[in-house]
Amino acid sequence: MVTSEQDGAETISARLAAIHARLPAGVTLLAVSKAQPLEALQRAYGAGQDCFAESRLQEALPKIAAMGRERISWHFIGRLQSNKVRPVVKAFDWIHSIDSAALLERISRIAAEEGRCPEVLLQVKLRKDPAKGGFAPDLLHAGLSAWARLPHLHLRGLMTMAPQGLTAQQRQALFGDCATLARALRQLLPATEASRFDQLSMGMSGDWPDAVRAGSTVIRIGTGIFGRRPLISCT
């Protein structure tokens, strides 16, 4: 007799396998586990998934404590408030949602105090979208060289999200614009920093193939791995 727990594990494993079968080498699959119970993360980990993304700090901390950090890479993908920088820097290896110079400087200072050196991505806003933040491209051109000299963090690349309602062609154009911007920004950096500025976090469950075709190196998949999110309390 197959239990519901076994069925859930087999479903997650099958979904992961199906994505990996289509995923080019060199592209990282992030399992977006926000609003998922710990058991779902453990099933994914048991199926070989070792990169997880969370967007709510208080929800994420018990999961990180339970699963550990030795063999798992934890990514913060939510909007980062200044008063949450310290616990996020302490708990996460990667931060995908840096949208201001002030936030970068605060991360650098706090990371020094905590003995940490997070990998960070700059969120860029390439289309009008009141629901999402991010740098305008001209601000990235103006500030990148100075930000690359900040200690105790590694600038690794860009992150973007497609606004709701775009056609497939419009999404493809957006992702292509982000890849072009990343290449232009890389030219502004010294060789050491430029070689490290090599990550593009773009593409989610509904549009990741378009993002990968445009050059994404990191895709963020939630429902495509775990199915519909259960209703759980997040405080």
DSSP assignments along 63-121, one per residue: HHHHH-SSS-EEEE-S---GGGHHHHHHH-SEEEEE--HHHHHHHHHHHHHHT---EEE
**Cβ-Cβ contacts under 8 Å for 58 (sequence gap 6 or more):** 234, 235
pLDDT in tens, the chain (235 residues): 344 455 477 899 999 999 999 999 999 999 999 999 999 999 999 999 999 999 999 999 999 999 999 999 999 999 999 999 999 999 999 999 999 999 999 999 999 999 999 999 999 999 887 778 899 999 999 999 999 999 999 999 999 998 888 899 999 999 999 999 999 999 999 999 999 999 999 999 989 999 999 999 999 999 999 987 654 444 3
Question: So what's the pLDDT on residue 131?
Answer: 72
The whole-angstrom separation of Cα 71 and Cα 234 is: 25
Residue matched to tokens 């430029």:
194
Question: What number of other Cβ atoms are within 10 A of residue 149's Cβ?
Answer: 10
- Output the CA torsion 97→103→109→110 (10° steps): -60
Residues 108-152: tens digit of each pLDDT: 999 999 999 999 999 999 988 777 889 999 999 999 999 999 999
**Residue 5: what pLDDT?**
55
Contact 193, 178 (CB under 8 A): no
**Could you tell me the pTM of the whole model?**
0.91
CA distances from 219 to 92, 102, 104, 122, 210 (A): 17, 27, 23, 15, 11
Residue 36 pLDDT: 95
Amino acid identity at 160:
T
Over residues 209-221, the pLDDT tens digits come to 999 999 999 999 9
Spatial contact of 124 and 140, defined as CB atoms under 8 Å apart? yes
Whole-angstrom Cα distance, residue 48 to residue 61? 21
Per-residue model confidence (pLDDT) at position 231: 47
